Amino acid sequence: MRRGIVHYHRHSAGRQAYRIDADGVSGRLDSPEHVAIEVLLHDVRCDTHATSFATDGIGFVVAPSAEELTAQGWQRGYDAELEALLVRELGAEEVRVFDHTLRVDDPQALRRPARNVHTDFSPRGARERLAMVLGEEQAAIWDAGHYAFVNVWRPVSDVVRSAPLGFVRPRTVEPADWLTLDLIYPDRIGQIMGLVANPDHEWLYRSAMTSDEVVYFNIYDNRGGPPVAHSAIDLLDTGEPSPRKSLESRTVLRYRT
């Protein structure tokens, strides 16, 4: 079993926040305090039955893309692929893809892998983002039924041999392990959920993922499906592989009721 370093959040007396473009400086990020913890990693590639979306909120699948994700004009076709994937895998009635982030593990990169243990939305943050994506009237209709935010992640180009994306199995997380974090932008305030360390947390990842493989994972479910805490992991026994390059796509989907 491999080991890696992850960066947890800490509880504090006051509300914590990330400040994006802090003090009006484009690209400047002020972060709350993190703590580096060494964790054991369970490689689900060695156990094909290690996860279930119904109980763990995580699914791995082989899903090659017909799009060249580093070229121009890929987004429309790739969005259609993701919509079909989530309809097939999760039985979604409708899927909206609303955001793509290309991450490169390089100090000069615009967006690097996120190294804080988190999930992307608090309940309030999810409802606000739903209205941003759909408009308030349509959001109210979805909110009256069953909807969820689900992320889809895949490597781009090279095999991922460093900074893989790891996940905490939800049933090993206690409610007290979560804390609400503000995201303070120049023009709005969002919310995410950070995770504090707990020795009972079970960490999962899939080794040497290729660009033909994706992982889809639950971020927020308005009917109580488990949110999945996740983070890039710094493996302890990695040599000098090429920097990880990956594409994270955020979606919101409506289930049949």
Q: Enumerate residues 6+ apart whose C-beta is below 8 A from 82.
A: 95, 97, 152, 249, 251
Cα distances (angstroms) measured from residue 46 to each of 41, 43, 51, 69: 12, 6, 12, 28
Position with higher pLDDT, 225 vs 24: 225
112 DSSP assignment: P
**H/E stretch holding 251:** strand 245-255
Residue 22 has pLDDT above 80, yes or no: no
163: left (phi over 0), alpha (psi -120 to 50) or beta: left
pLDDT above 70 covers what percent of the chain? 96
Residue 100 has pLDDT above 80, yes or no: yes
Residue 23 has pLDDT above 70, yes or no: no
Q: Identify each DSSP E strand in 105-227 by its residue range.
A: 118-119, 147-155, 165-168, 178-184, 189-195, 203-205, 213-221
**Where in the chain are the domains?**
2-255
What pLDDT does 150 receive? 98
- Under the banding of pLDDT at 50, 70 and 90, the label for residue 207 is very high
Residue 28 has pLDDT above 90, yes or no: no
C-alpha to C-alpha distance for 152 and 134, rounded to whole angstroms: 19
Residue 219 has pLDDT above 70, yes or no: yes
pLDDT tens digit string along 161-206? 999 999 999 999 999 999 999 998 888 888 999 999 999 999 999 9
Residue 24 has pLDDT above 90, yes or no: no
